[in-house]
Structure 1
Amino acid sequence: MLRLLNIEFHKLKHNRASRVLTLIYFVLLTSIALIAAIKFDIGPIKFHLAEQGIFNFPYIWHFNTYMASIFKFFLLLVIVSMMANEYSNKTLKQNLIDGLSKKEFILSKFYTVLVFAAISTLFVFVVSLILGLIYSDYNELSIIFSDLEYLLAFFIKLTAFFSFGLFMGILVKRSAFAVGGILVWLFVESIFKGFLFWKFNSDNLDTNNQVNSDLSTISVNDIMQFFPLESMSNLIKQPFTRLNAVQSVGKQIGENFSQDFSVHWYQIAIASAWIFIFIYASYALLKKRDL
C-alpha cells in the first residue's frame, strides 16, 4: 500500500495544477472559520452569526461537514486530472511496463482517494473542534463528542464522490469530459427525480384534486436514495432548519421544519456499495482495454 501511495504522490508532487487545486481546497476548508467573523451592526440591530449557535457542540459537526462537502469539487478536479494525465503523459502504459499490474494501478488510485478523504475529514474535525471550543455554549465531553457520525458520513461521501470521479476519468480519459459527465449525470438524476414527483403527484390526487404530498415525498425518496449522487447527498442533509432560531421563526409563521437529520446505517451502506461499484467498474474497464 505504501509503495503504491508513494508512486501516486510522487506524480502529484510534480503536477503544479494538482498542487494549486489541493491548496485551494484546504484554504476553503479553513475559511469556514471566517463565518465566525460575520457581523451586522446597523443601528440598534446587532447580528453576530457565531452567536446564533452554529458553532455549538454537537451541532457544529453537522454544520461544518455539510459546508465542507460543498468544496469537494476542487479535489474532484485533482482526481480526474490525475487519471487524465496517466493517458496524456503515457505514464499508465509505462507503469504497466515497469511491472505494475492493472489491479495495483487501480488500487493506487483508490488508496489516494482514501487518503484525500481521510485528511479532509481530519482537517474538518480539527477546525470544528477549535471553533467549538471557542464559541460553543456547551463544553462537556459527552456533548463535544456526540454526533461524530457526521464525520464518518463526510468521509464516506468524499470517498464515494472521488471514486465516481476516478471512474469517469478512466471512462472518458479527459478531465474536462469527466467533470462534464458527472454534471450530466447530476442533471439526469435531477430530471428523473422531478419526473417521479410529477408521476406520484398525478397518481395520488384525491377526489378534491388535492395532492397527497407526504405519500409522494416518501415514494420518491425511497427510489432516489439508490442513485449515486442522491445517496451521497442523503448522508449529510442541510443543517439550517435544525437551528433553534430557525425553528422558532418557523413556529411563529406556522411552518413546520421537522426533518430527520440523522445519519442512518443504510445510507452509509448504499453509498459504500457505490464506492465498490465505481472501483470495480474502473478495474473492469481498465482490464478490458488494450493499452
Structure 2
Amino acid sequence: MLRLLKIEFDKLKYNKASRILILTYFILLVLIALFAVIKFDIGPVKFHLAEMGIFNFPYIWHFNTFIAGLLKFFLLLVIVSMVSNEYSNKTLKQNLIDGLSKKEFILSKFYTVLAFAFISTIFVFLVSLVLGLFYSSFIESSIIFTDLEYLIAFFVKLVGFFAFGLFLGVLIKRSAFAVATMIVLFLVEFISYSVVSAYNRGTDLADNIYQFLPFKSLWNLIDQPFSRLSAVKAVANQVGEDLSYDYAVHWYEIAIVLCWAALFIFLSYRLLKMRDL
C-alpha cells in the first residue's frame, strides 16, 4: 500500500496543476474561519455570524463538514486528472511494462482517494476544534466530542464522490469530458428528482427512490445544518414554517454510499482489465 501511495504522490508532486488545486482546496477549508469575523450591518439589521452559534460545540461538526463537503470538487479535479494524465502521458503503459499490474494501478488510485479523504477529514477536525475552542459557548469535553459521526459521514462522502470521479476518469480518459459527464449526470438526477417530487407532492416517493442513486445518497449523508440555528428557527416560527428535520447520520445512508464506492472501484478495474493498452 505504501509503495503504491508513494508512486501516486510522486506523480502529483511534479504536476503543477494538481499541486495548485490541492493547495486551493485546503486554503478554502481554512477560510471557513472567515465566517467567524463576518458581520452584517444593514440599517437596523445587525448580526455577527459567530454569535449566532455556528461555532458552538457540537453544532460546529455538522456545519463545518457540510460546508467543507461543498468544496470537494477541487479534489475531484485532481482525482480525474490523475487518471487522464496516465493516458495522455503514456505513463499507464509504462507502469505496466515496469511490472505494475492493472489491479495495483487501480489500487494505487483508490489508496490515493482514501488518503485525500482521510487527510481532509483530519484537517476539518482540527480546524473545527480550534474554532470551537475559541468561539463555542460550550467547551465541556462531553459536549465537544458529541456528534463526531458527522466526520465519519464526511470521510465516506469524499470516498464515494472521488471513487465516482475515478471511474469516470477511467471510462472517458479525458479529464474535461469526465468532469462534464459528472455535471450532466448530476443535472439529470437533480431534475428528474425535482419532477418526481413535484408530481408526488406530500409523499416521500421521490426520497425513497432517489436515496439509492449516487448524488442523492451523497447529499443525504450530511443534511443542511442552517435550519438548526436558533435564529432561523425563530424566524420560521414567526411565519408559521415547520423546520423539523432528521439531521442524524444513519448507518444505511453510509452503507449505500460505500456500496457505490465499491461498485465504482470494481467497474474501474474491470474496464482497465478489458482494455488493450
Same fold flag (TM > 0.5): yes
- Shift, 1:250, TM fit: 0.8
| Residue 288 in structure 1 maps to residue 258 in structure 2 | no
Distance 1:97 1:41 in 2: 64
- Pairing of 1:75-224 with structure 2 (within 5 A): 75-201=75-201, 213=202, 215=203, 218-224=204-210
Matched residue type, 1:6: K
Alignment partner, residue 258 of structure 1: 244
Alignment partner, residue 60 of structure 2: 60
Q: Deviations over 1:132-189 (max 9, x none)?
A: 0000000111110000000000000001000000000000000000000100110110
Matched residue type, 1:48: H
- Shift, 1:43, TM fit: 6.0
Matched residue type, 1:288: M
Other structure's SS at 1:128 match = helix
Matched residue type, 1:281: L
Matched residue type, 1:200: N
Residue in structure 2 matching 1:269, options 255, 260, 264:
255
Matched residue count: 277
- Shift, 1:45, TM fit: 4.6
- Shift, 1:97, TM fit: 0.5
Q: Deviations over 1:21-79 (max 9, x none)?
A: 00000000000001101013456653111000000000000000000011100000000
Matched residue type, 1:36: A
Q: Which runs of 4+ in 1 moved over 6 A?
A: none
- Shift, 1:252, TM fit: 1.3
Matched residue type, 1:186: F
Structure 1: gaps (5+ residues): 202-212
- Shift, 1:244, TM fit: 1.2
Other structure's SS at 1:57 match = coil
Alignment partner, residue 265 of structure 2: 279
| Residue 228 in structure 1 maps to residue 214 in structure 2 | yes
Alignment partner, residue 39 of structure 2: 39
Structure 2: gaps (5+ residues): none
Q: Deviations over 1:169-225 (max 9, x none)?
A: 000000000000100110110122123224424xxxxxxxxxxx1x2xx11101000
Distance 2:34 2:200 in 1: 43
| Residue 15 in structure 1 maps to residue 15 in structure 2 | yes
Structure number with greater Rg is 1
Distance 2:45 2:217 in 1: 41
Distance 1:87 1:170 in 2: 9
Distance 1:135 1:198 in 2: 41
Percent sequence identity over matched residues?
66
Distance 1:73 1:42 in 2: 33
Matched residue type, 1:255: E
Alignment partner, residue 209 of structure 1: none
Distance 2:224 2:214 in 1: 18
Matched residue type, 2:155: F
Alignment partner, residue 69 of structure 1: 69
Alignment partner, residue 27 of structure 1: 27
Distance 2:244 2:38 in 1: 27
What TM-score, normalized to structure 2? 0.98
Matched residue type, 1:62: H
Distance 2:42 2:196 in 1: 46
